[in-house]
Amino acid sequence: MALTLKQLRYFLAAAETGQISLAAMELNISQSAITTAIQGLEAQLGVRLLDRSPQGVVPTIEGARFLNHARNITAAVEDAERLPLGEGRRLTGRLRLGTTYTVAGYYMSRHYARFRRAYPDIAVEMVEWPRMAVEEGLATGSLDMAVMLVSNLTNRAGLEQETLMRSRRRLWLATDHPLLSADRITLADVAAQPYVILTVDEAKDTAGRYWARAGLEPQVTFATSSVEAVRSMVASGMGVTILSDMVYRPWSLEGQRIELRSVVEEVPSMDVGLAWCKTRPLAPAAAVFRAFMSVAMGGGG
């Protein structure tokens, strides 16, 4: 059976992040899908590619050798995918790109770096602004395009949008929390617990809407704009929280584990996407970036 591009991409993500869970979040798929793909790859090659431990995964000697081959193969495929976008030309221009805090910290770096390598002659001017400032910049023309939380977008009449990734929100718990033994967890169960709430990027407002829809209110013990602070407090047992998989990491800075569980009720996803002005034609560099991101998130594999 031939190796697949999907297997290579899943292996690369796991090897480069050092965590199956992080790789799953980057690719917006389940951890079991990555594990199954890598196990199939190891079976086909007849060698173990990753050493697994409670702390994560590390390439074996054979895995490190195969890693270079996998990078070369996927890079060649990405080049082939990009050829229709650039039509074989050295594209030039300027892209004024807006982004928001969460997207800048947890999503953009990998895609920004790949775009810069693919189109070195396009000057990218990326700024991080609050959501309202980004929307204003798109409307007035000071920004060509934005990568932002389109689920928070308010000017839907004046701005086009394209969703790139939907990141579901789940409950974060310490490893010894009693809710971990529950067969099902409801928002009412969560509301009975001390709660640590994130405030950055309008997270508190978003949470307030789905709590209000359920007719409940969390017992907030601490509010913070720092995701790392939320992570540390949840891991140490100070409280629980509901946040998106995109910002989840299985370990706090102190090395304490954080567990994930779904709640019974529907909690809206956090959606990352592109936004641009409806009434202004896309600049050539922005059009290339849009096509690049659509290929990066949607295809091949």
Domains in the chain: ranges and CATH:
5-85 (1.10.10.10), 90-166+271-298 (3.40.190.10), 169-268 (3.40.190.10)
To the question of pTM greater than 0.95 for the whole model, the response is no
Amino acid letter at 40?
Answer: G
C-alpha to C-alpha distance for 148 and 171, rounded to whole angstroms: 23
* Residue 222: per-residue pLDDT: 97
- pLDDT for the residue 82: 54
pLDDT number for residue 88 = 43
Q: Which residues contact 35 (CB under 8 A, 6 or more apart)?
A: 20
Q: Which ranges of 51-154 would DSSP assign to H, the alpha helix?
A: 61-86, 101-106, 108-118, 131-140
Q: Could you give the strand order of the β-sheet that contains 270-277, starting from the edge strand earlier in sequence?
A: 122-128, 93-99, 145-149, 270-277, 159-167
Retrieve residue 144's tokens: 């060509």
The tokens of 284 are what?
Answer: 């050539």
The pLDDT score that the predictor gives to residue 80 is 60
Cβ-contact 169, 240 below 8 angstroms = no
pLDDT of the chain, 301 residues: tens digit per residue: 678 888 888 998 888 888 888 888 778 788 898 999 999 999 999 999 998 887 678 888 888 888 878 877 876 676 665 555 544 457 889 999 999 999 999 889 888 988 998 899 999 999 999 999 999 999 999 999 999 999 999 999 999 999 988 888 999 999 999 999 999 999 999 999 999 999 999 999 999 999 999 999 999 999 999 999 999 999 999 999 999 988 988 888 898 989 989 999 989 999 999 999 999 999 999 999 998 888 776 543 3
Distance CA 146, CA 153 (A): 11
**Pure H helices in the chain:** 5-17, 20-27, 31-45, 61-86, 101-106, 108-118, 131-140, 187-191, 203-213, 227-235, 284-298
pLDDT (0 to 100) of residue 79: 60
Lookup: tokens for 127:
């700024």
- Say what angle helices 31-45 and 20-27 make with each other, to 10 degrees: 110
Residue 95 CA to residue 133 CA, distance in Å, equals: 17
Residue 3: other Cβ atoms inside 10 A? 15
144 close to 282: Cβ distance less than 8 angstroms: yes
Q: Tell me the pairing of strands 270-277 and 194-198.
A: unpaired
Chain CA centroid to CA 289, Å: 18
Q: Between vectors from CA 274 to CA 164 and to CA 212, what angle results, nearest 5°?
A: 75
Residue 1 has a pLDDT of 60
Q: How many residues are given for the chain?
A: 301
Q: What integer pLDDT is reported at residue 111 of this predicted model?
A: 87
